[in-house]
């Protein structure tokens, strides 16, 4: 049985992140873009890893007053097993020390209006719609919903959140 471990990602992980991006998104970040983002003090990336494999990852932008979820992706072979839920919970908890320094009382993200599985995940963690961006996604012209949650409302991660 495979196990996934939550970890902060660094430069050595960016090739795997770029590969996962390419599998999951129509406009993926390239490895060089991800490496450059890591140089910013506001950018953080976390993953669920195991057996030298990246199962899922999330990237965050931390700015005064908020945490913006930039991307969250799960390898297609490991979807619907709780990895994204556990990853999102753990990543928001890991950002808590930043929150205590005056950052990130709320988390925001954008999601395709038609991404029903993601919408279900976000709503189950307390995210609520606060706006929309018309034609946000260049590849399809699809609208994005803007969702927000107060970090105090996000339930803590449980050890058995994800099963592989």
- 96-142 pLDDT, tens per residue? 666 566 655 789 999 999 999 999 999 999 999 999 999 999 888 99
Up-side HSE of residue 47: CA atoms within 13 Å toward CB? 22
Identify the pLDDT of residue 158. 53
Q: What is the mean pLDDT of residues 57-83?
A: 91
Which tokens belong to 87?
A: 């990853």
Which SS3 state, helix, strand or coil, does residue 148 take?
Answer: strand
Q: What is the mean pLDDT of residues 72-83?
A: 92
User: Which candidate, 48, 70, 74, places its Cα nearest to that of 59?
Assistant: 70
Rounded Cα distance, 125 and 94, in Å = 16
Which residues are identified as catalytic? 110, 122
Q: Which helix (H) or strand (E) holds 5?
A: strand 5-8
Identify the pLDDT of residue 1. 44
Query: Exposed, middle or buried, 69 (CB in 10 Å: 0-12/13-18/19+)?
Result: buried
Q: Rounded to a whole number, what is the distance in angstroms from the first to the last CA of the chain?
A: 7
Share of the chain above pLDDT 70, in %: 87
Q: What is the mean pLDDT of residues 52-56?
A: 92
Distant-in-sequence, close-in-space partners of 33: CB < 8 Å, separation ≥ 6: none
Identify the pLDDT of residue 28. 93
Higher pLDDT, 140 or 95: 140
For the whole prediction, is pTM greater than 0.75?
yes
Say yes or no to pLDDT of 80 above 50. Answer: yes
Rounded Cα distance, 95 and 100, in Å = 9
Identify the pLDDT of residue 101. 65
Identify the pLDDT of residue 52. 84
Identify the pLDDT of residue 164. 56
User: Position of tokens 């072979």?
Assistant: 77
Higher pLDDT, 38 or 162: 38
- 2-22 pLDDT, tens per residue? 688 899 999 999 999 999 999
């Amino acid at each position: 049985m495979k196990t996934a471990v939550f970890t902060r990602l660094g430069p050595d992980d960016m090739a795997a992140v770029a590969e996962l991006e390419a599998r999951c998104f129509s406009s993926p970040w390239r490895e060089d873009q991800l490496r450059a983002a890591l140089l910013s003090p506001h950018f953080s990336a976390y993953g669920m890893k195991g057996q030298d494999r990246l199962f899922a990852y999330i990237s965050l932008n931390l700015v005064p007053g908020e945490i913006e979820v930039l991307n969250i992706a799960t390898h297609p072979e490991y979807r619907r097993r709780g990895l994204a839920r556990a990853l999102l919970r753990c990543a928001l908890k890991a950002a808590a020390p930043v929150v205590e320094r005056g950052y990130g009382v709320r988390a925001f993200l954008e999601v395709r209006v038609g991404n029903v599985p993601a919408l279900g995940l976000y709503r189950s963690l307390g995210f609520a719609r606060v706006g929309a961006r018309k034609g946000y996604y260049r590849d399809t012209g699809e609208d994005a919903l803007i969702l927000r949650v107060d970090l105090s409302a996000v339930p803590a991660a449980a050890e058995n959140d994800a099963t592989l």
